[in-house]
Amino acid sequence: MNILVVGGDGYLGWPQSMYLSKQGHDVGIIDNLTRRAWDVEGGTHSLTPIQTLHDRVTLWKKLTGCTIEAYVGDLQDYDFLVDAMTQFRPDAVVHFGEQRSAPYSMIDRKHAVRTQTNNVIGTLNLLYAIKDLCPEAHLVKLGTMGEYGTPNIDIEEGFIEINHNGRKDLLPFPKQPGSFYHLSKVHDSHNIMFACKIWGIRSTDLNQGVVYGLKTDETQLDDGLATRFDYDGVWGTVLNRYCVQAALGRPLTVYGKGGQTRGFLDIRDTLRCIEIAIQSPPAQGEYRVFNQFTEQFSVLDLANLVQQIGNRKGLNVTINHISDPRVEMEQHYYNAKHTKLLDLGLVPHDLSDVLLDSLMDVVVRHRDRVREETLMPQVNWRSTHNPSSYETAESPVAESVKAER
Ligand code: NAD
Ligand code: USQ
């Protein structure tokens, strides 16, 4: 198949592109490299050294003989998108290309607007391009489990049957997202569902949990194929942050009580879930939702796990409950269904001691690269002006990124 990976330079998009290329598909990447520019804006970076998109694609070809076509441009630029899609003619489009950080979206008005503009308009453009250029192509869209929030009932996979005043219907599960980022995904879901209905295009909306891990068969081929690892207070996800804090001998930053429970999955399962979705496409006009995670943990559970493994490595790990910078429930009921991908053949990798141990080894290897000043959370949900270092920035673009463009 011709598979277009939008956001193919990112943490998930790059390993996904290699994975699909290795399976024999023709893979094209669209990416505007904005994630690299956002690092420049905030003084953040990937703990693992990463190559430019150009160098990655060149190395991939050298090592495997497989070509990945790169189209550098912005989903918000419709002319660019039409050109790229006309050249590539995708059978499936995997869409990772969004601003994905909840804290980034909560910095201030400008960053909330940037997040929602980038994500909602980008996805809307993609829907129009699919309808006009390749209406049979399957859109596989990365959504998030955070669209649902933390209701006091079981979370279904996308839809819930409601009985109301003697009548019943199957309706989208209520959404209670916890940041302007998570809200952007809800807006996308509504737009995608509507586009499937009116134009008869087809889509799978993958409500994914928090992903961890760096190692896939393809990233392990060569250090030059490594994917990014974020650990700072804006981009770092919770387990990554704990691993870095443990490696530096800093206390693990559990926000509040630590009962916040989320779905998690190994990066190898992300790759496989997307392959499964592509292999079993929905019918024309169908909009379907899969909950894409394999295990639930509270953030305190995870801290305890990291402490246990870290101490075994002689790291002397401590846990600190700091005041929660977010507005979220710190103790709550959480039971989210996630059977549809298992029914289609997913065999999950659980978060084992071995995996956590090897993740911590990678972190310890790169410990000297850590920018300690970025470690503590600086974005508070209750404030509309966070933090001063971002106040004047207009998303400057690094010279290296400019040169690549
Ligand atoms: P990432 O930031 O590492 O990658 C996103 C990529 O998209 C970047 O390379 C960026 O440059 C590109 N991009 C952003 N806006 C673009 C635009 N307008 N045009 C072209 N390219 C654009 O993010 P990630 O962690 O790989 O996440 C990928 C997707 O998966 C996101 O949509 C995210 O919301 C979703 N997701 C991620 C996780 C996770 O734990 N990482 C969990 C659930 C869902
Ligand atoms: N948290 C801590 N300590 C930390 C960092 C985070 O306790 O040092 C807590 C947060 O308060 C939150 C939980 O950990 O309750 C998860 O936070 P996170 O930053 O790991 O993840 P989140 O903001 O939800 O976002 C990440 C990805 C996003 C994706 C989402 C999936 O950045 O792209 O959509 O996970 S989900 O959580 O299912 O919505």
Q: Which atom of ligand 1 is nearest to the CA of 145?
A: 43
Q: Which atom of ligand 2 is nearest to the CA of 263?
A: 38
Mean pLDDT of 306-321: 96
Q: How far apart are CA 278 and CA 292, in angstroms?
A: 14
Mean pLDDT of 229-256: 98
Q: Are 292 and 208 in contact (CB under 8 A)?
A: yes
Query: What type of residue is 15?
Result: P
Catalytic (active site) residue 181: yes
Q: Check 34, 44, 123, 144 and give the catalytic one.
A: 144
Q: Which atom of ligand 1 is nearest to the CA of 96?
A: 29
Instruction: Note the pLDDT tens digit of each residue in 300-311.
Output: 999 999 999 999
Q: How far apart are CA 68 and CA 362, in angstroms?
A: 27
Please tell me the residue having the least CA distance from ligand 1 atom 15.
Answer: 98
For 296, phi then psi, to 5°, come to -110, 140
Q: Is 102 close to ligand 2, i.e. is its CB under 6 Å away?
A: yes
Q: Which residue, chain included where needed, has tokens 């391009």? A: 129
Mean pLDDT of the chain: 95
pLDDT of residue 388: 60
Q: Where are the alpha helices (DSSP H) in 206-298?
A: 238-248, 267-279
pLDDT of residue 179: 98
Q: Is 210 close to ligand 1, i.e. is its CB under 6 Å away?
A: yes
Instruction: Note the pLDDT tens digit of each residue in 54-78.
Output: 999 999 999 999 999 999 999 999 9
Q: Check 185, 204, 242, 340 and give the catalytic one.
A: 185
Q: Is 144 close to ligand 1, i.e. is its CB under 6 Å away?
A: yes
Please tell me the residue having the least CA distance from ligand 1 atom 21.
Answer: 31
pLDDT of residue 400 exceeding 70, the answer is no
Mean pLDDT of 202-208: 98
Q: Minimum mean pLDDT among 26-40, 85-99, 168-182, 383-397: which range?
A: 383-397
Q: Where are the alpha helices (DSSP H) in 51-179?
A: 53-64, 78-88, 102-105, 109-116, 122-133
How far are the Cα atoms of 251, 252, 304, 351, 356 from residue 308, in angstroms, in the given order?
A: 13, 12, 6, 14, 10
pLDDT of residue 395: 39
Instruction: Note the pLDDT tens digit of each residue in 96-123.
Output: 999 999 999 999 999 999 999 999 999 9
Minimum-distance ligand to the CA of 274? Answer: 1
Q: How far apart are CA 149 and CA 174, in angstroms?
A: 9
Q: Is 233 close to ligand 2, i.e. is its CB under 6 Å away?
A: no
pLDDT of residue 398: 40
Q: How far apart are CA 220 and CA 277, in angstroms?
A: 24
pLDDT of residue 389: 64
Catalytic (active site) residue 144: yes
Q: Is 260 close to ligand 2, i.e. is its CB under 6 Å away?
A: yes
Q: How far apart are CA 340 and CA 111, in angstroms?
A: 35
pLDDT of residue 140 exceeding 70, the answer is yes
pLDDT of residue 396: 40
Q: Are 96 and 13 in contact (CB under 8 A)?
A: yes
Rg of the chain in Å (alpha carbons): 20
Q: Which atom of ligand 1 is nearest to the CA of 74?
A: 19
Q: Are 13 and 31 in contact (CB under 8 A)?
A: yes
pLDDT of residue 386: 86
What confidence category does residue 394 fall into, taking pLDDT thresholds of 50, 70 and 90?
very low
Q: How far apart are CA 398 and CA 39, in angstroms?
A: 9
Instruction: Note the pLDDT tens digit of each residue in 333-376.
Output: 999 999 999 999 999 999 999 899 999 999 999 999 999 999 99
Q: Is 96 close to ligand 1, i.e. is its CB under 6 Å away?
A: yes
242: CA distance to ligand 2 center in Å? 12
Mean pLDDT of 245-266: 98
pLDDT of residue 198 exceeding 80, the answer is yes
Q: Which atom of ligand 1 is nearest to the CA of 95?
A: 32
**Which contacts of 381-390 are long-range, i.e. CB under 8 A and separated by 24 or more positions?**
381/106, 381/179, 381/325, 381/326, 381/327, 382/327, 384/108, 384/109, 385/108, 386/106, 386/107, 386/108, 387/107, 389/42, 389/43, 390/41, 390/42, 390/107, 390/108, 390/111
pLDDT of residue 391: 54
Please tell me the residue having the least CA distance from ligand 2 atom 39.
Answer: 146
Q: How far apart are the first and last CA of the chain?
A: 27
Q: Is the dihedral of CA 367, 368, 372, 373 positive or negative?
A: negative
Please tell me the residue having the least CA distance from ligand 2 atom 33.
Answer: 100
pLDDT of residue 221: 98
3-state secondary structure 100-120: CCHHHHCCEHHHHHHHHHHHH
Q: How far apart are CA 239 and CA 325, in angstroms?
A: 17
Q: Are 274 and 337 in contact (CB under 8 A)?
A: no
Q: Is 374 close to ligand 1, i.e. is its CB under 6 Å away?
A: no
Instruction: Note the pLDDT tens digit of each residue in 149-190.
Output: 999 999 999 999 999 999 999 999 999 999 999 999 999 999
Burial class (CB in 10 A: 0-12, 13-18, 19+), 108: middle
